[in-house]
Amino acid sequence: MSSTMNMLPASNKIAVAVVCLASIMFLIRGLKEGNDTGHRSRKLFVLTGLVGLIWVALELCSFFYGTSLRRSREVALAFFFTRHLWGGILAGLLLRFLLKSKPLLAVSLTLLVVFNAFVIVRHLAWVTRFVYIGEGLFTGMFLASLFLLWLDLSTKSSHQ
């Protein structure tokens, strides 16, 4: 009798393991007692770690309960959207370590608009799962970049 984890592709196992370990490392770094980093960056590390662990939990739920989730089309689509929304939020938080908030907002909004235009022009609305995955991912990135821009602006206004 094989378990569900044995049926997963190796790439999924590796991705889940890497994100889980990285999330734990982000949490540890953010929760350390030392004040070697600023208060805002500590919050960002903790938030990224928590969002990463939420994404890992949703991925594991999809692996273990995938067949029962697919019994109802609406539940499956809502779950896929939610899972990819959290994945997009995680991607947006991770990209913040490479980009500043305003370029990240511009990139995420551009990706969201281009994806929607692509779906409309190519008449792909019938591929519901594809649309839900893309919408969740790019909307999550957009929401994360909006939050990070708000956090940057509130931090700047409190220092003035």
Average of per-residue pLDDT across 3-23: 78
Sign of CA dihedral 111, 132, 66, 48: positive
CA 75 from centroid of its chain's CA atoms: 20
Summarised one tens digit per residue, pLDDT across range 19-41 is: 999 999 999 998 886 655 567 78
Window from 6-15, 16-25, 38-47, 129-138 with minimum mean pLDDT? 6-15
Summarised one tens digit per residue, pLDDT across range 67-81 is: 777 788 888 888 889
Average of per-residue pLDDT across 106-126: 86
pLDDT at residue 119, as a whole number: 85
Q: How far apart are CA 64 and CA 76, in angstroms?
A: 14
If phi over 0 gives left and psi between -120 and 50 gives alpha, with beta otherwise, what is residue 72?
A: beta
Residue 121 pLDDT more than 90? no
Q: How far apart are CA 80 and CA 76, in angstroms?
A: 6
Place 130 in a pLDDT band, splitting at 50, 70 and 90.
confident
Summarised one tens digit per residue, pLDDT across range 96-114 is: 989 888 999 999 999 999 9
